Amino acid sequence: MLERRAAVAALLGNRPDDLFVVTGLGSTTWDVASLGESERDFYLWGAMGGAAMIGLGIALAQPKRRVLVLTGDGEMLMGMGSLATVGIQKPKNLAIVVFDNGVYGETGMQPSHTQGGVDLLKVAEACGIGARLDVYDEAGLRDLAKRLAGLNETLFARVRIAADDPPRVLPTRDGVELKQRFRRAIGV
């Protein structure tokens, strides 16, 4: 089983300059922050269920930049309708990657729907997202990192990770600062 911090490092340790990242509340925010805060990251500390739609808005506004939404299964489940919305828009420069451990890590490891059999990969398929990856080992992570670097179609990936709870790494929680520096980084 993949460990989440090693997985995020494999995906973003060597990220291209034009890859902008939106993280979901909450563990994926700490995961991405564990690599060092970047002005190209928009870390969500709230707005649960909104990560994919924020990514969609950025992707539509910046067709020449690549956008990665990295979120957890619980956050994705809360915004599952947004997969339908993304499936209609299909921006070529948007990837949604779900770290799926089948539990709500922030609230005491209660089982999520994915542990009960709900398959987000099939949801993405049913929503018309053509490019999908099921990642469960290091070779899969390497393949996904390559796909992100050369992203040219809407991509959905599920990364199966262990249900552990590594130490939190907290980025700034000042929303105005996060917004302003992201806009500077993207050049608007």
Binding site for other proteins (CB under 8 A): 22, 42, 44-62, 65, 79, 81-82, 84-85, 88-89, 175-176, 178-179, 182-183, 186-188
Q: Based on CB atoms, which residue is closest to other proteins, 44 or 161?
A: 44
Residue 101 Cβ, how far from other proteins at the closest point, in Å?
Answer: 23
Rounded Cα distance between 154 and 164, Å, is 29
Q: Based on CB atoms, which residue is closest to other proteins, 45 or 136?
A: 45
Q: Based on CB atoms, which residue is closest to other proteins, 14 or 17?
A: 17
Looking only at the bridges linking them, the beta strands covering 19-23 and 41-43 are parallel
Count of positions (residues) in the chain: 188
Residue 154 Cβ, how far from other proteins at the closest point, in Å?
Answer: 14
Residue 57 Cβ, how far from other proteins at the closest point, in Å?
Answer: 2
Q: Based on CB atoms, which residue is closest to other proteins, 16 or 57?
A: 57
Residue 25 Cβ, how far from other proteins at the closest point, in Å?
Answer: 10
